[in-house]
Structure 1
Amino acid sequence: MSSSFDKFQKRRLISSYFSVVLSVFLVLFLLGFLGFFIINSQKLANDFKENIAMTVFFKNEAKDSIVKAFGDEIKKAPFTKSYLYVPKEAAAKQHTDIIGEDFMTFLGENPLQNSYDIHLKADYVVKEKIVTIENNLRKNMMVSDIVYDKQLVNLVNDNIKKVSMWILIISSFLTVIAVLLINSSLRLSIHSNRFIIKTMQMVGATKSFIRKPFVMRSVKLGMIGAGLAVLALIGVLIYVETSFPNLGILDNKLLIGLVLIVVFGLGVLITWLSTYFATQRFLNLRTDDLY
């Protein structure tokens, strides 16, 4: 009978430990994932901005020397991320490939113009700055037209502000949930040992002596859960980097390392604080209140 009870207690203890480790792992994994998203959200937004092209068309009478001089000027400009010269012959070939028919056979000439596709740095892809750049480029008498998606520029900047605000709100909400979930799991674990805590107190053990093994055990469980979360996050990073190398998700190794350290540290800190206050609560209860 005693053996069966001991086995039951052992299974219940293991189940309690498992629930603590699992809750710590899941919560810290979500927080870490959100942390990686936050530090990469600006980079993703900048990459999207820098993919918006501004196309500068030249008049047919513009000489090659003028077009080349314009390219040299653009190369040195502080707002230029990259640029590509597209001669009208290459533009005609692109149009032919897209529509599947050579439009010059019935037009008799190439109506397209030489152009530059300019990709601006992310800091310059805002309404005020991009308009200033456009006005300055139009001062060149050989520039025929400048085309870019004005609505997309405004839409991107507006949405980035909204997304940043929601990320901040969600981060704060998840942090609170994380603390509550881990605290709840640890309180249940301590609750199952409340009679042991009170018995030790009644035989003269000090509060710090009683707390120590519970705190140490919880911290160890927190370290296991946090360690598993760190390993899982590293696995996710490697998978994303392998699947989407263009994102450069591992470029900022310092911030990635900082997030992983914070995740591990939170696992230790939250479990330590939760166990400390949970044991303190039962130490301050009267014996009758334990029931």
Structure 2
Amino acid sequence: MSSKFEKYQKRRLISSYFSVILSIGLVLFLLGLLGLLVLNSKKVTDYFKEQIPLTIYLKDNAKEVETTQLTKKLKLSEAVKSAKFVSKKEAAATHSKEIGEDFISYLGTNPLQNSIDINLNAEFVNNVSIDDFVADILAKKFVDEVVYDKPLISLLNENIKRISFWVLLLCGIFTIIAVLLINNSIRLTVYAKRFTIKTMQMVGATKSFIRKPFIRLNLTLGILGGLLALSGMGAVLYYLDKTFIEFNFTSDIPMLAAVFCGVFLLGLFITWLSTFFAAQRFLSLQTDELYY
């Protein structure tokens, strides 16, 4: 009979430990994903900023040497990510392909202009920097106009600021939730052994002696939960890196190492802190208070 009871108690204990590991792992996994999102948000926003095109249209009387020099100057500029000269002949061929007919044979002439398509580096994609850049380009006599989507740039920058605020707010909320959930899971495991704690205390064991096995056990559970979270984060990161190659999420190894180590150490710290205070609480209770 006692053997069956012992097996039952052992199963309950294993189930309790598994629940703690799973709780810690899931909470740290979500917190780690949020951390990766925060640290990679700049990379994602920079990518979208650099996809906004600017087109410099050149006058028909522009000399070849002028357009060549301007293209080279743009490629060397710190503000420009890429620059490509597009002749009016190339532009006509592209436009004919898009509309599905040869519009030049219909019009009898090519109304398009020679142009230079450029993309700016992300840090220069704001209205102030672009206005200065465009003013410098328009100062050249052989440039007709510079076309870009100014409202889109304003909208993009405003949305980035708004999203960044909410992401940081969510990060703070998730951190608080992580602490509370891990703390509650740890307290339940300590609560299950409150009578053992009081018995050890009554036979003369010191508080530090009683706390040690609980801290050691829960730190072990915290390590297993942390490893579970890191495995999940690694799998998600691998999937994202293979699916969205253009973002190159795994390029910054030191940053990723910092995030993974930070999540793991945070889990261990919360586990240690929760175990310490949970054990301390039950050590301070009177015997008749253990039943409530």
Place the TM-score, normalised by the shorter chain, in its bin. over 0.9
| 1:275 aligned onto 2:275 | yes
Question: How far apart, CA to CA, are the structure 2 residues paired with 1:43 and 1:241?
Answer: 13
**1:4 Cα deviation from its structure 2 partner:** 2.0
| 1:68 aligned onto 2:68 | yes
Q: Which residue of 1 aligns with 2:217?
A: 217
Q: Deviations over 1:54-85 (max 9, x none)?
A: 10000111121111111122122221111111
Aligned-residue RMSD, C-alpha:
0.8
- Aligned ranges 1:127-276 → 2 under 5 Å: 127-276=127-276
**1:146 Cα deviation from its structure 2 partner:** 0.7
Question: How far apart, CA to CA, are the structure 1 residues paired with 2:273 and 2:202?
Answer: 24
Task: Please identify runs of 4+ aligned residues in structure 1 that moved more than 3 A.
Answer: none
> What secondary structure, in the 3-state scheme, does the structure 2 residue paired with 1:57 have?
strand
> What secondary structure, in the 3-state scheme, does the structure 2 residue paired with 1:141 have?
coil
Structure 1 alignment gaps of length 5 or more: none
> What secondary structure, in the 3-state scheme, does the structure 1 residue paired with 2:5 have?
helix
- The amino acid that maps onto 2:151 is Q
Q: Deviations over 1:79-100 (max 9, x none)?
A: 1111111111111111111111
Question: How far apart, CA to CA, are the structure 1 residues paired with 2:73 and 2:227?
Answer: 53
TM, length-normalised to structure 1: 0.98
Question: How far apart, CA to CA, are the structure 2 residues paired with 1:125 and 1:68?
Answer: 24
TM, length-normalised to structure 2: 0.98
Question: How far apart, CA to CA, are the structure 1 residues paired with 2:14 and 2:91?
Answer: 69
> What secondary structure, in the 3-state scheme, does the structure 2 residue paired with 1:18 have?
helix
Q: Deviations over 1:112-133 (max 9, x none)?
A: 0010011111111111110111
Q: Which residue of 2 aligns with 1:16?
A: 16
- Aligned ranges 1:93-108 → 2 under 5 Å: 93-108=93-108
**1:263 Cα deviation from its structure 2 partner:** 1.0
Question: How far apart, CA to CA, are the structure 1 residues paired with 2:176 and 2:146?
Answer: 50
Structure 2 alignment gaps of length 5 or more: none
- The amino acid that maps onto 2:36 is F
Question: How far apart, CA to CA, are the structure 1 residues paired with 2:274 and 2:75?
Answer: 58
- The amino acid that maps onto 2:76 is K
Question: How far apart, CA to CA, are the structure 2 residues paired with 1:192 and 1:179?
Answer: 20
- The amino acid that maps onto 2:28 is L
Question: How far apart, CA to CA, are the structure 2 residues paired with 1:231 and 1:196?
Answer: 35
**1:35 Cα deviation from its structure 2 partner:** 0.8
Q: Deviations over 1:196-226 (max 9, x none)?
A: 1000101111111111001000000000000
Q: Which residue of 2 aligns with 1:27?
A: 27
More displaced, 134-143 or 229-238? 229-238
Question: How far apart, CA to CA, are the structure 1 residues paired with 2:124 and 2:104?
Answer: 37
**1:236 Cα deviation from its structure 2 partner:** 1.4
> What secondary structure, in the 3-state scheme, does the structure 2 residue paired with 1:113 have?
coil
> What secondary structure, in the 3-state scheme, does the structure 1 residue paired with 2:226 have?
helix
- The amino acid that maps onto 2:147 is V
- The amino acid that maps onto 2:29 is F
Question: How far apart, CA to CA, are the structure 1 residues paired with 2:16 and 2:185?
Answer: 8
Question: How far apart, CA to CA, are the structure 2 residues paired with 1:158 and 1:216?
Answer: 49
More displaced, 113-122 or 170-179? 113-122
- The amino acid that maps onto 2:66 is I
Question: How far apart, CA to CA, are the structure 2 residues paired with 1:72 and 1:278?
Answer: 68
Identical-pair percentage: 49
Question: How far apart, CA to CA, are the structure 1 residues paired with 2:91 and 2:108?
Answer: 16
**1:44 Cα deviation from its structure 2 partner:** 0.7
Q: How many residues align?
A: 291
Q: Which residue of 2 aligns with 1:85?
A: 85
> What secondary structure, in the 3-state scheme, does the structure 1 residue paired with 2:60 have?
coil
